[in-house]
Structure 1
Amino acid sequence: MTTDTLTPARSRVGAPPRAADARAAGSPTAPPPPLTHRAPALDGLRTLAILVVVLYHLHVPQFEGGFIGVTVFFVLSGFLITTLLLGERRRTGRVRLGTFWGKRLLRLYPALLAFVVVGLLLWNWVGDYKGATFSAGEAAFIALTYTGNLFRAFWDTTQGVFAHTWSLSMEEQFYLVWPPVLVLLATLRTRRRWLLTGLGALVVGGSVASWLSYRTPSGGATPDVYFSPVLGVVPLAVGCALALLLDDARVRVLAAGLAGTVATWLGFALLVGVLVWIDDDWTQHAWTFGVVLPATALVSALLIGGLVSVRSPVSAALAWTPVSWFGRRVSYSAYLWHPLVIALLGTFAIGVWGTIGLVAAVLVVSIGAAYAVEVPVERFRKRLEARSAAARATAAPAHDPVGP
């Protein structure tokens, strides 16, 4: 597949940038595309997101809106995956979907499998966490098949200590659907503006549909619409749109200046504002799901766009090694394991010191699980990639045409 070039007026998906685009924007050279180098500030943002999720589940005051951490994760996923796919196409002229899915599976599934096995072993003590409506085997099957969001949204069920895997289900479904769609649109040489228009329509349509499908839950429970793919696709689509915008050299030139600094500070301030503003009756309002959560996704995109475009005190703080290390290495493990720790030890946590002890326990278990499962699997994956690259390099000369 041969990539096409960008023109100042009309750009296509995944096309390599030209210097003319930067000059058209008033700069001799455009900044490189996002993720050309690792962005530690995004790892730091993961740390903040998982922290607010854990504190929300611990019912810490002022963190009633901690569920927005999941929204931040969704926007990050949409942005990162789309950026990586566009980058691969820019470099190689194609996207290897099988390789992409294989990497995702090796990155995510072993840790999930280990968590589910331990959860099954402890089911007699933790299975009824927040009221399971399935047996242990059924709940484990739903978690391992990435269908938890569908069961929670459309059949009003929950999987006990595995219930939080609904968000992993949403992301895995996104990984299955979006990459082939993006590859197809790139093959058809779809103009970026049309794809952005489609994503914008998806965001608006999902927000409106979430508002209209809201039903007030009983007893302060979380409404079914919160777990629905109709709402979940909104922040993911926002992240995808951000990646497409920053794939344009002209937009990167703009974001590398004052606009990026403003986006960073405004996005960070608004996210903190939403977190502080939301109280514990957020489940009782349709506009939470039709307006607040979609708006939180847009605010998250502002922050992410700023973090990858300019250096600021916010990005420097998030890129601080301990903060970025936790987000890179432990955030997934912390998300998986923290409900199990809370279910197992929560009854013994009394007062402020009990909460601090629970947070410490979550940290210890998460770090231990990350290094016991994720690190060895990552090393194994890198060995496989190295062997595959060596095999391709060895075989390449036999297939290369001779001459110019």
Structure 2
Amino acid sequence: MSSSAGSRVLPLDGLRTFAIIGVVLYHLHVQGFGGGFVGVNVFFVLSGYLITSLLLKEQMQTGTIRLGRFWVRRVLRLYPTLLAVVLVAVALWPLVGDYTYNDLDAWPAALVALTYTGNFARAYAHLSQGVFAPGWSLAMEEQFYLVWPPVLAFFLYRGFRRRSVAWFGAAAVLASCVLAYVLYETPKGIATPDIYFSPVANVAPLLLGCVLALALTHERARTFFAGRVGAWSTWIGIGVIVAIAAMLGNGSLIGDDWKNEPLFFGVLLPAVGLGTTLLIAGVVSRKTALGSFLGLRPLAWFGRNVSYSLYLWHMIVMALLDPFVSGLGGKLLLLGASVAVATASHFVIEKPFLRVKKRFEPASWSVERTRETGHESAGQETVESLRV
């Protein structure tokens, strides 16, 4: 199973499915999923790995990284659904504006969401956005992708080896973890510590994915994970993720409130990122039973096509329907309704803009798709499966 950026790696899409379902069940307060929010860290690592893989692929094939086109692709991938969610939420604000914790009126909350500053609002202004709350992690990613691609392009342009850039990234990961531990301050009440929303103190998961993408361009690293080590890393990685999520959920790891433990932010969350890195390294390097399961086409299709929309829409669906349901059955109904809305959003909103997005991809990607599949339509999913 190739680890190159242009290859279809279905298990990574399947991993998205489980990550997003965990996050939604956490927001639904389903018993046993109190640690489901660690799925956000899984997404961070996936995003760092896939985006960096595509940037490296472009640089290797064309000799350059066209940053303008990269950012246009990001906007076309992410912004249409975000804009739709914001407009719907603002229109329904009398019904959804008071759901969960919210400190902002409709348009200020919308402005924060649309400018990708949700993490700053949480960390520095201590303002919660209600149904737009999931936007904090999108803000973290987009702020990172304003900085990382130019940094990567600069290093490569200056002749740095990818291995050297990977070591630089690894050092930054360690520095981020130390900062998270040192800068931790006990929050007031039920608030989440500011460092959780910091684009510096909580950048380790994104950087771990970037480091892995850089490392796997080296023949020795690919050979290393293509052997038995890759199988072991796959199972160790998923074991770490599941164990930490489960123990956080039942309070057996660090007590009942993870927000009051610096260990959580400096060690445990980065450990989830490291586990995800090991899992990805294994499934992209060799065939394993777990990879085959994660790569089942229904799981992969859902993760690739619905996970992003579901992350944005589920809070609005919950705000509208939660007063009318109860019990576990009611929560599952909310999950089903959220999935239905997100799936419709993918077909109605996302797909048309994804076709436009293809026009801003390097020409070599289309040529490679045609060469590998024999015709363009069948090859379309090759690079699209890597979009984040």
Q: Shared fold by TM > 0.5? A: yes
Match of 2:274 among 291, 298, 319: 298
For residues 157 and 135 of structure 1, the distance between their equivalents in structure 2, rounded to whole angstroms, comes to 11
Q: Deviation string for 1:246-296 (max 9, x for gaps)?
A: 110111011111011001011111111111111341112111101100111
Where in structure 1 are there 5+ consecutive unaligned residues?
Answer: 1-30, 394-404
Residue of structure 1 in register with 2:283 after alignment: 307
Give runs of ≥4 in structure 1 deviating > 3 Å. none
Residue of structure 2 in register with 1:316 after alignment: 292
Residue 335 (structure 2) pairs with residue 359 (structure 1): yes
Q: Give 1:168's aligned amino acid.
A: L
Contact in 1 for aligned 2:177/2:266 (Cα 8 Å): yes
Match of 1:108 among 56, 70, 78: 78
Residue of structure 2 in register with 1:225 after alignment: 195
The SS at the match of 1:67 is helix
TM-score normalised by length of structure 1: 0.86
Q: Give 2:267's aligned amino acid.
A: V
For residues 342 and 125 of structure 2, the distance between their equivalents in structure 1, rounded to whole angstroms, comes to 31
- 1:33 to partner: Cα distance: 4.3
Residue of structure 2 in register with 1:348 after alignment: 324
For residues 385 and 198 of structure 1, the distance between their equivalents in structure 2, rounded to whole angstroms, comes to 30
**Count of aligned residue pairs for this structure pair:** 360
Residue of structure 2 in register with 1:284 after alignment: 260
Residue of structure 2 in register with 1:53 after alignment: 23
Q: Deviation string for 1:160-215 (max 9, x for gaps)?
A: 21121010111111111101110000011113343223212211211111122222
Residue of structure 1 in register with 2:302 after alignment: 326
The SS at the match of 2:200 is helix
Match of 2:144 among 174, 185, 192: 174
**TM-align CA RMSD:** 1.9
What are the residue-to-residue correspondences of 1:2-401 with 2, within 5 Å?
33-278=3-248, 279=251, 280-382=256-358, 384-385=359-360
For residues 215 and 385 of structure 1, the distance between their equivalents in structure 2, rounded to whole angstroms, comes to 44
- 1:83 to partner: Cα distance: 0.8
Contact in 1 for aligned 2:195/2:202 (Cα 8 Å): no
Contact in 2 for aligned 1:40/1:324 (Cα 8 Å): yes
Q: Give 2:31's aligned amino acid.
A: P
Q: Percent identity, aligned pairs only?
A: 49
Q: Give 1:285's aligned amino acid.
A: E
Contact in 2 for aligned 1:154/1:228 (Cα 8 Å): no
Q: Give 1:375's aligned amino acid.
A: K
- 1:146 to partner: Cα distance: 0.6
The SS at the match of 1:231 is coil
For residues 211 and 356 of structure 2, the distance between their equivalents in structure 1, rounded to whole angstroms, comes to 33
The SS at the match of 1:199 is helix
Q: Give 2:321's aligned amino acid.
A: L
- 1:78 to partner: Cα distance: 0.7
- 1:389 to partner: Cα distance: 5.3
Contact in 1 for aligned 2:209/2:277 (Cα 8 Å): yes
- 1:301 to partner: Cα distance: 0.2
For residues 272 and 294 of structure 2, the distance between their equivalents in structure 1, rounded to whole angstroms, comes to 19
TM-score normalised by length of structure 2: 0.89
Which structure has more relative contact order (CA 8 Å, sep 6+)? It is 2
Q: Give 1:36's aligned amino acid.
A: G
- 1:142 to partner: Cα distance: 0.7
- 1:35 to partner: Cα distance: 2.8
Larger radius of gyration: 1
Q: Give 1:210's aligned amino acid.
A: A
